[in-house]
Amino acid sequence: MRRTNTEPLKDVINRFLKIYGGDRKIKEIKLQRSWGQITGVNVEKQTEFVKVNKSTFYVKLTSSVVKYELSMMKSKIIQRLNEEAGETLIDEIIFL
């Protein structure tokens, strides 16, 4: 006997992730992986992702020059991170 209220497994998993906040964590991981594409290869080599806590993206830097340059482009980087995520996930970037 076939049930009439069946739905694809993909939809069930997506609904589960949305209810329990897993979809946000997945998007945060995708942002971490796309950091090099957003900032460029040279910046990626001199930075290291630390974490995302609430709406803040933490990045460790190896150079004060890079820190200055990224600080000047902070709003643009936040905008590109949120575009990559498809929603507003990041409000602030902290350079360590």
So what's the pLDDT on residue 79?
92
So what's the pLDDT on residue 89?
83
CATH code that applies to domain 9-95: 3.30.300
Reported as type and span, the H/E element at residue 56 is strand 56-61
The stretches in the chain having pLDDT less than 70 are: 1-3
Domains of the chain, residue spans: 9-95
So what's the pLDDT on residue 1?
59
- For 40-61, write each residue's pLDDT tens digit: 888 888 888 778 888 888 988 8
Q: What are phi and psi of 4, to 5 degrees?
A: -95, -15
Q: What is the pTM of this model?
A: 0.72
